[in-house]
Every structure is written in C-alpha cells, then in structure tokens.
Amino acid sequence: VGGDLTPAFQVTKSTSQSVSHATLTKVTWDTETFDTDSAFASNKFTVPSGEGGKYLFNVHLHVTRSVDSDVYRIYTFLYKNGSQVNVFPLNLAGTDGRILLAAGSQMLDLSASDYIEIYVNAATSSTNTLDVIGGSTETAFFNGFKILGA
C-alpha cells in the first residue's frame, strides 16, 4: 500500500525569461529544487526506464511587462513528446493587466522515455516583449511525480 511517489522533481526559474509577444516559447528552467531520479534535464522531464505509469504534473507561470498594464493573455502549454496535451489559459479579453498567472495540473499515463515540456504564449496590447517571472519567491515552477505504476 502506498509508495514513495517517485520519480519526482521540481524546477524553478532564478531569473526572468524574456518572451516575444504572441510567440510560442519553450520555458527554460535553471534551478532544480529536487530531482529524485535525475530525470529532469535540458528543460524537460523524461520518464526513466522501468518507471512508466500515471504521473501528476503542476505548472505555475507569472508573465509581466515591467512597464504599463497592457498584458492581456497568457497561455501555458503542457507538451508530451513534442505535441500539445493541454493548455491552461488566461485571456482578459480587452482588459489589460500588469501581471498575469496561468497555472494548471494534468494527470498523464506515461511510458519510459516519454518526455514533458512547458511552453508559453503571451500577448500585450502594445506587442512588446514580456517576461516569465523568475526569482527567489518561485513565481514560476514546474513539478511532477509518479502516482501509480504501469
């Protein structure tokens, strides 16, 4: 009964990542909080050999433009093996803000060597560059863990 819920990982951003207006961009992660099976590398989680099963992933992204309040959309995408699995959207539809958050959770059935990545697409009413916020408060994070065997 039970288990140790591994493999498991959590990654964060220590600094902000610049993203272009309305452009799909892979989110880069520069800090591993933990990685029980050394399965997170090159900005993606890859299921280790013999560790297929059901996994739960969580992602939390803040996007901002340091000047003005013209951010109106952020879509956070979860990709499996290079293809979109889900999108966690926030679209203010004409009412702009300065900092937007799009977060979500997804349970997936994965096999060995499947990999998971995070992408973002954000937009401003002025078509300016935005930032995925990073820093000591872990405003951006991505984590996951195995919940059931194959």
What would the pLDDT profile of 49-72 be if each residue is shown by its tens digit? 999 999 999 999 988 876 667 788
pLDDT band with cut points at 50, 70 and 90 for residue 45: very high
Most confident of 1-15, 21-35, 53-67, 135-149: 21-35
The per-residue pLDDT for 39 is: 98
Residue 2 has pLDDT above 60, yes or no: no
Average pLDDT over the chain, rounded to an integer: 90
Q: Tell me how far the alpha carbon of residue 8 is from its chain's centroid.
A: 15
Q: Give the mean pLDDT of 26-40.
A: 97
The per-residue pLDDT for 130 is: 87
Sign for the pseudo-dihedral over CA of 25, 30, 34, 38: positive
Residue 138 has pLDDT above 70, yes or no: no
Residue 117 has pLDDT above 90, yes or no: yes
The per-residue pLDDT for 46 is: 98
CB within 8 A of 97, min separation 6: which ones?
A: 69, 71, 72
Residue 96 has pLDDT above 70, yes or no: no
pLDDT band with cut points at 50, 70 and 90 for residue 30: very high
